[in-house]
Amino acid sequence: MTDFPGPTPMHGDTVELTVGAFWATITGKITSRGVLVDGRGFVELVLPDGDPQQRRVLERAGTYQYRLYDGGVLLYSSPYLQVRETRRESDGALVVVGSP
């Protein structure tokens, strides 16, 4: 398991997402990567195109935590992260940007 996602993307097939008292298991092509913006570290979690409600839930909650798995093996378990940005990619994927 990795301590913090670096610039090399981690790819998984399942993510357990916790947003306040709400939690969900999302499956599909999932990517997690660390990015630097103006010297500050952020985590980008890229989720497959899914329920449009996901974005609204994340924006309203303000914080989230996730566990990324590949083939049942835990790759990364995040601390609680503050939502800094949510956006949709051209392919419909939801990108959630967070920081501790």
Query: Does residue 11 contact residue 31 with C-beta atoms inside 8 Å?
Result: yes
> Considering the domain boundaries, does residue 5 fall inside one?
no
Nearest one of 56, 54, 69, 45 to 23, comparing CA atoms: 54
> Considering the domain boundaries, does residue 40 fall inside one?
yes
What tens digit of pLDDT does each residue of 72-99 get? 999 999 999 999 998 888 888 889 999 9
- What does the alpha-carbon distance between residue 84 and residue 63 come to, in Å, rounded to a whole number? 9
pTM (2 d.p.): 0.85
Look at residue 28 in the predicted model and tell me its pLDDT. 94
> Considering the domain boundaries, does residue 61 fall inside one?
yes
Residue 19 belongs to domain spanning: 10-99
CATH of the domain at 54: 2.40.30
> Considering the domain boundaries, does residue 54 fall inside one?
yes
Query: Domain total for the chain?
Result: 1
What tens digit of pLDDT does each residue of 48-65 get? 877 778 778 887 888 999
